């Protein structure tokens, strides 16, 4: 049987090369171009008939362009006779619009999931999906869906490259507790989350729920840095509470505007992210965890 | 029964106001914004439960953003309980990718039609859809689909605003014959199309199939001006063949790059388009033909 | 002596063709491209040595790209031996940043004027320059500078194409009085401006300074429509005061976001602008007033 | 005397924080925003009167926006009374347009240098400026100009993080010999450059000038990776010539389109760049070399 073939879409080409190298799967070539009028052109250069196809594409920076590209790619692969289309979508946009906050609003997380399934996607692998009101990835996808985590590799990287004495893991808010816990278990250290406490009508302070931060080397763990506001505030609070040093980590470095600057200016010693979204602080690649997950299941039968 | 409500998406707001005025339908309000990370936010400000909803949006200039917006809007209107969602999509992107020219290519026209139907669209109205290999709109859509034409209003406008002595209608190539014919019937004049004729191994000339152009006032009729290359070439050829004056018309003024300049520099006296895509030469509004078509069918039962 | 040659930069090509036709000046060709890394490439295709050169370029939509292009073009024309470089800059960006509103701010109007002069510009023609704190164009430019107006042609167009009974001209605020006056003189009718009057701590009303609006057909005259907020507010106020109809006009149709929609939804019967910035409502060309001004002075000696 | 103050423009904020930390200079704050019409707004939040001001901004990704910002910043700092304005421009755009390749072309390198000087810049620090036809930075700038190099730190990083047995340094073409030489001296190893040799009318091969590549661990050294074409070709050639491993390095990672993918797919083991242009492969910061250079000269008198 032909071995699986892996294609990198326009936000997945570098990861596709790395995953192909790690898995031994064939690296295919898909051409993606924009016409002068903004329409997307796509052409698969390899025969996919009867084969398991892995499609790597991360939906960020002009997410709508990538979403349309992804839907076109899935439909076309199916039309070209692919046996199964397995999507590797390291960063999955629209996950934060997961409920109708106000009447008349779009619930785009749900719609995007449906569109991918209807286009013919057979399986999906993603990394540290923003699950908040939706608690498990199986609540949002009807197809087999695997939510990997980059948190272990992120904190191992920090632990190796920064001189930390028994670090303390901190989640910047309650939602981040899920990742803080994984990070703490990985390094065998303790963790906590920050909370906003109202002191008076005018004054709010940010404190750790229970931990004493003073003199500690803190690693902040979160899923996304978008504008950097939450992270910068957390860094500032922790420095104010007496932390000796603070390193900020996240899986998805969206880094809108001056995010890095805000966090560094707030006093962070460093910022470390994964390459689900390539960025100047993407020191940790998710290629190995994706390759491992794929090798366990794809091309086995 | 509540009267139909009409919403303008981010490329349909001006047309929606005009159509609402002409039809007497209620004008609704939908908010469409972009988050800093490029995700689209949408909120309908009117209750649509049980009502016929008309959604106006033209898929051009960042067509993928608009396509995603449109899909989100249709899904959300259905989810909010709209009785029927009637799409008015004056310019329909991706119609030129209607077949697999090379192995492995995406056939996006077909896919986009399917995506709109699956999202829940009940009916579609469009204008001068680029139908080439697909001969009729019913071959591409399974839902009721109406392909209106702006050609009559375009040539009437030219006839009124330019001093022409018994104009000759010209289609710049064979594909444009369908529109040239409508234009000629509208004005009660003759028409022809241009053809490339090979003179020798090196030389190709552009000529009218049978008509004598010399001394005539020519109106060129086409569906789309994209980069303006075809139209500029046609203008130049017609001037070279002795046409007294040439006015270029099209329904969809995509106008990529220096299109208008090329056509004017080639010698066109003027350029006239419709407002399916708003442009500096969109002198003719399609609001009346769309309003008429809608009033004939929507809100009747 | 060689006759003047006219070049259209990337926001001036259509106007350049029209002005060349009206003046009989030679139409030159300048190629402007963007490299993939965003750098601008420019090449003049005609010999300019010893000639008067007219350079048409309007600084809008990515104004910084156009400003850099303009500076490169002026410097290069001088370097190539042009006798004089006469800039036609129908829309001149940065005119609203004409003072230091807060400490530390850039006063860009002044800086841009200096940059153009230092690059070697010999004369400048512009249209309805936003002069507010700076009262006359000669206060900002040291080179000969001509500030033309499109207001006369705008209101003549409205007067011809809309059925108005003795129209009333209205400036939406005090700054617009200068254009309202010209418009009123052109049509031989009266004019006024709107004012915000505070009724109580909470309530502000917009009223005409002295004119009675009731039953009148109003033409609003302003220099710029940017987001459309001011204009929409004026339309709404005038309709509320009993105006029979309102047509909005401006010279420069920047039209950021949903400007046209806001103004139409507020109740405007129509919107009419010039083509200093090409737009879907640019029904009036400034080519004739620019051609006239140039013919009076350029290529005479 | 007040110590020097350092501002980061919109492409220099992260470097400014790092340089401030290393030098002990005060970190100032400049707000840079875009208005909805694309105009740039700038405000300095610190008093600069009588002080030495260091302005960090790298001219890439929308270089014209940054160039205009830079000119506005310099003019404004001077206007606000800064004693000296010292520009740190790690990546300097337009350096490749350093001559008139065809008649009528802009020589933008020269023009940009003049514009910066006229705006009031007193000194300039840059990194690995693309000097080709212009041989020394003093030929292009009249003000004191310092051309630092990141090459030493780049090859030291590679040497530390990759297991290389006595590496061979290669410049991908003759122009790169200047950097290859520095790299070789830094690591105490040999170097060479690649050459295209014509075998027959149809066939061209790429070879090292004299070095034997077989079995060697090669570090390619160049100033810029733009589309990645040159680098990918070099990697491929070196692998074809029997190199055991190839690591690609450059100072300026412009990375247009699929540059990283092309180079990895060609067989590179890794890609390492500096942060003159922040990128996913910017593992080496130029902050230390810039800080050192500044401390040697600024704030001394």
pLDDT tens-digit map of A47-61: 999 999 999 999 999
pLDDT, residue D66, reads 98
Number of H helices, E strands in chain B: 9, 15
Q: Residue A139 in 3-state DSSP? A: helix
**Do D13 and D115 lie in a common domain?**
yes
pLDDT, residue A200, reads 87
Residues of B in contact with A75 (CB under 8 A): 106, 111, 114
**Do A214 and A106 lie in a common domain?**
no
Give the residue among A126, A100, A10, A17 at the shortest CA–CA distance from A64.
Answer: A10
Q: Determine contact, residues C149/C90, Cβ cutoff 8 Å.
A: no
Give the residue among C99, C79, C111 at the shortest CA–CA distance from D68.
Answer: C111
Residue B130's domain comprises 5-150+286-297
Contact D8 A264 (CB under 8 A): no
**Do A191 and A126 lie in a common domain?**
no
- CA–CA separation, D146 and C218 (whole Å): 63
- CA–CA separation, C151 and B36 (whole Å): 38
pLDDT, residue B267, reads 97
Give the residue among B284, B250, B293 at the shortest CA–CA distance from B268.
Answer: B250
pLDDT, residue B134, reads 75
C300 confidence band (pLDDT: 50, 70, 90): low
Q: Which tens digit of pLDDT belongs to each residue from D124-177?
A: 999 999 987 778 999 999 999 999 999 999 999 999 999 999 899 999 999 999
Contact D8 A261 (CB under 8 A): yes
- CA–CA separation, B270 and B222 (whole Å): 14
**Do A142 and A183 lie in a common domain?**
no
Hey, which residues does C2 pair with through a beta bridge?
Answer: none
In this predicted structure, the answer to whether residue B298 has a pLDDT above a threshold of 90 is no
Contacts of A104 (CB under 8 A, 6+ apart): B43, B44, B45, B46, B76, B80
pLDDT, residue C198, reads 86
Q: Residue A165 in 3-state DSSP? A: coil
Instruction: Out of A131-135, B244-248, D230-234, pick the least confident.
Output: A131-135
**Which one of the listed residues B3, B33, B62, B196 is annotated catalytic?**
B196
In this predicted structure, the answer to whether residue A301 has a pLDDT above a threshold of 60 is no
In this predicted structure, the answer to whether residue C1 has a pLDDT above a threshold of 70 is no
Q: Determine contact, residues D64/C64, Cβ cutoff 8 Å.
A: yes
* DSSP 8-state symbol, B208: E
**Do D254 and D291 lie in a common domain?**
no
Give the residue among C268, C266, C262 at the shortest CA–CA distance from C228.
Answer: C262
Give the residue among D68, D83, D81, D69 at the shortest CA–CA distance from D123.
Answer: D83
**Do D14 and D140 lie in a common domain?**
yes
- CA–CA separation, D87 and D127 (whole Å): 12
Name the H helices within A104-143: 108-119, 137-140
Distance from CA of A123 to the nearest CA of B (A): 20
**Which one of the listed residues C33, C142, C196, C197 is annotated catalytic?**
C196
Intra-chain end-to-end CA distance of chain D, in Å: 9
pLDDT, residue D301, reads 54
A36: nearest CB among B36, B69, B256: B256
Chain D segment 4-33 residues within 8 A of A by beta carbon are: 8, 13-14, 17-18, 27
**Do C225 and C259 lie in a common domain?**
yes
Query: How confident is the model over A219-231, as a mean pLDDT?
Result: 97
Active site residue B156: no
Query: How confident is the model over A114-122, as a mean pLDDT?
Result: 98
Per the model's pLDDT, the better-predicted residue between B102 and B2 turns out to be: B102
Q: Which tens digit of pLDDT belongs to each residue from C119-143?
A: 999 999 999 999 877 789 999 999 9
Query: How confident is the model over A83-89, as a mean pLDDT?
Result: 98
C261: nearest CB among B14, B280, B283: B14
Contact B17 C261 (CB under 8 A): yes
**Do B133 and B187 lie in a common domain?**
no
Chains C and A touch (3+ CB pairs under 8 A): no
pLDDT, residue C210, reads 94
Contact D63 C94 (CB under 8 A): no
Cite the beta strand spans of chain D per DSSP E: 5-8, 26-27, 30-34, 40-44, 52-56, 84-89, 123-127, 145-148, 168-171, 191-198, 204-208, 217-225, 245-253, 270-274, 282-284
- CA–CA separation, A83 and A157 (whole Å): 38
Chain B segment 272-291 residues within 8 A of A by beta carbon are: none
In this predicted structure, the answer to whether residue A33 has a pLDDT above a threshold of 60 is yes
Name the H helices within A133-278: 137-140, 151-161, 177-187, 229-240, 259-265
Q: Which tens digit of pLDDT belongs to each residue from B21-70?
A: 999 999 999 999 999 999 999 999 999 999 999 999 999 999 999 999 99
**Do A105 and A124 lie in a common domain?**
yes
pLDDT, residue D200, reads 87
Instruction: Out of A90-99, C196-205, D7-16, D67-76, pick the least confident.
Output: C196-205
Output phi, psi for C252, to 5 deg.
-110, 110
**Do D145 and D155 lie in a common domain?**
no
Contact B260 C14 (CB under 8 A): yes
Distance from CA of C244 to the nearest CA of D (A): 33
Q: What is the mean pLDDT of chain B?
A: 96
Query: How confident is the model over A80-105, as a mean pLDDT?
Result: 96
**Do B135 and B229 lie in a common domain?**
no
Structure tokens at B248: 């270029």
Contact C97 D41 (CB under 8 A): yes
Q: Is B81 on the interface with A (CB under 8 A)?
A: no
* DSSP 8-state symbol, D203: -
A175 confidence band (pLDDT: 50, 70, 90): very high
In this predicted structure, the answer to whether residue B201 has a pLDDT above a threshold of 90 is no
Cite the beta strand spans of A117-201 per DSSP E: 123-127, 145-148, 168-171, 191-198
Contact B106 A41 (CB under 8 A): yes
pLDDT, residue D134, reads 75
Share of chain A above pLDDT 90, in %: 91
C199 confidence band (pLDDT: 50, 70, 90): confident
For helices B177-187 and B151-161, the axis angle rounded to 10 degrees is 50
Q: Could you list the pLDDT tens digit for every one of the 301 residues in chain D?
A: 689 999 999 999 999 999 999 999 999 999 999 999 999 999 999 999 999 999 999 999 999 999 999 999 999 999 999 999 999 999 999 998 999 999 999 999 999 999 999 999 999 999 999 987 778 999 999 999 999 999 999 999 999 999 999 899 999 999 999 999 999 999 999 999 999 988 888 888 999 999 999 999 999 999 999 999 999 999 999 999 999 999 999 999 999 999 999 999 999 999 999 999 999 999 999 999 999 999 998 876 5
**Do C165 and C226 lie in a common domain?**
yes
- CA–CA separation, B139 and B129 (whole Å): 12
Structural domain count of chain B: 2
- CA–CA separation, C95 and C109 (whole Å): 5
Q: Is B80 on the interface with A (CB under 8 A)?
A: yes
Share of chain D above pLDDT 70, in %: 99
Please give the ipTM for the structure prediction.
0.95
Instruction: Out of B127-141, C55-69, D253-267, pick the least confident.
Output: B127-141
Name the H helices within B164-228: 177-187
Residues of A in contact with D256 (CB under 8 A): none
- CA–CA separation, B226 and B212 (whole Å): 28
In this predicted structure, the answer to whether residue B300 has a pLDDT above a threshold of 70 is no
Output the domain CATH number for residue B197.
Answer: 3.40.50.2020
């Amino acid at each position: 049987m032909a071995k699986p073939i892996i294609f990198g879409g326009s936000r997945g080409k570098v990861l596709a090369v790395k995953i192909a190298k790690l898995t031994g799967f064939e690296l295919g070539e898909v051409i993606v171009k924009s016409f002068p009028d903004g329409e997307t052109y796509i052409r698969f250069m390899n025969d996919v008939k009867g084969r398991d196809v892995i499609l790597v594409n991360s939906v960020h920076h002009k997410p709508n362009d990538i979403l349309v590209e992804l839907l076109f790619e899935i439909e076309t692969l199916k039309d070209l006779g692919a046996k199964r289309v397995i999507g590797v979508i390291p960063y999955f946009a629209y996950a934060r619009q997961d409920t109708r906050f106000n009447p008349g609003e779009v619930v785009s997380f749900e719609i995007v999931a449906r569109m991918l399934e209807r286009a013919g996607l057979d399986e999906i692998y993603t990394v540290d999906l923003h699950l908040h009101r939706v608690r498990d990835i199986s609540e949002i996808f009807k197809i087999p869906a695997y939510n990997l985590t980059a948190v272990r590799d992120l904190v191992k990287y920090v632990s190796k490259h920064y001189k930390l004495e028994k670090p303390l893991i901190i989640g910047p808010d309650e939602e981040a507790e899920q990742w803080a816990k994984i990070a703490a278990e990985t390094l065998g250290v303790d963790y906590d989350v920050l909370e906003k406490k109202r002191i008076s009508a005018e004054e709010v302070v940010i404190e750790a729920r229970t931990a004493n931060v003073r003199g500690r080397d803190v690693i902040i763990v979160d899923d996304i840095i978008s504008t950097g506001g939450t992270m910068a505030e957390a860094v500032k609070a922790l420095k104010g509470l007496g932390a000796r040093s603070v390193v900020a980590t996240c899986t998805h470095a969206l880094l809108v505007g001056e995010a890095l600057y805000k966090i560094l200016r707030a006093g962070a010693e460093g910022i470390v992210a994964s390459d689900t979204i390539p960025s100047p602080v993407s020191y940790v690649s998710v290629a190995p965890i994706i390759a491992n997950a794929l090798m366990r299941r794809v091309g086995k039968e």
